[in-house]
Amino acid sequence: MKKSFGFGIVGCGAISKAHIESIKLIPEARLVGVVDKFVEKAKAVGEGEGCDYYSDYNDLLKRPDLDIVCVCTPSGLHAEPTIASAKAGKHVIVEKPLEITLEKIDSMIKACEENNVKLATIFPNRFKKATNYLWKKVQDGRFGKLIMGDAYIKWYRTPEYYSTASWRGTWTMDGGGALMNQSIHTIDLLQWMMGKVSSVVAYTDALLHDIETEDTAVAIVRFENGALGVIEGATSLYPGFPNRLEIHGSKGAAILENEKFTTWNFIDSDEQEENEIKRLSEAANKSTSFSDPMAFNFDPHRRQIEDMIAAIKEDRAPFIDGYEGRKAVEIIASIYRSSKEGRPVDL
Ligand X SMILES: NC(=O)c1ccc[n+]([C@@H]2O[C@H](COP(=O)([O-])OP(=O)(O)OC[C@H]3O[C@@H](n4cnc5c(N)ncnc54)[C@H](O)[C@@H]3O)[C@@H](O)[C@H]2O)c1
Q: Which is nearer to ligand X, 128 or 260 (CB)?
A: 128
Contact range with ligand X by CB under 6 A, out of 4-12, 43-51, 212-220, 266-274: 4-12
Task: Decide: is 95 part of the binding site for ligand X (CB under 6 A).
Answer: yes
- Rounded Cα–Cα distance for residues 337 and 298 (Å): 34
Give the C-alpha separation, 121 to 173, whole Å. Answer: 17
14, 21 contact by CB (below 8 A): no
Which one, 283 or 295, has the nearer CB to ligand X? 295
Nearest to 137 by CA among 262, 275, 282, 254: 254
To ligand X, the closest distance from the beta carbon of 213 in angstroms equals 13
Contact 7, 70 (CB under 8 A): yes
User: What is the signed CA dihedral for 108, 110, 115, 116, rounded to 10 degrees?
Assistant: 100
Write down the least CB distance from residue 300 to ligand X, Å.
9
Letters for 134-163 (x = contact with ligand X by CB under 6 A, - = none) are: ------------------------------
Residue number, 203 or 319, with CB nearest to ligand X: 319
Burial of residue 311 (CB within 10 Å: 0-12, 13-18, 19+) is middle
Residues 29-48 that bind ligand X (CB under 6 A): 35-38, 41
What is the total count of residues that contact ligand X (CB under 6 A)? 23
Residue with the CB atom nearest ligand X in the bound state: 13
- The count of other CB atoms within 10 Å of the CB of residue 116 is 9
Binding to ligand X (CB under 6 A) within 60-89 occurs at: 72-75, 77
- What residue ranges bind ligand X (CB under 6 A)? 10-15, 35-38, 41, 57, 72-75, 77, 95-96, 122, 124, 165, 181
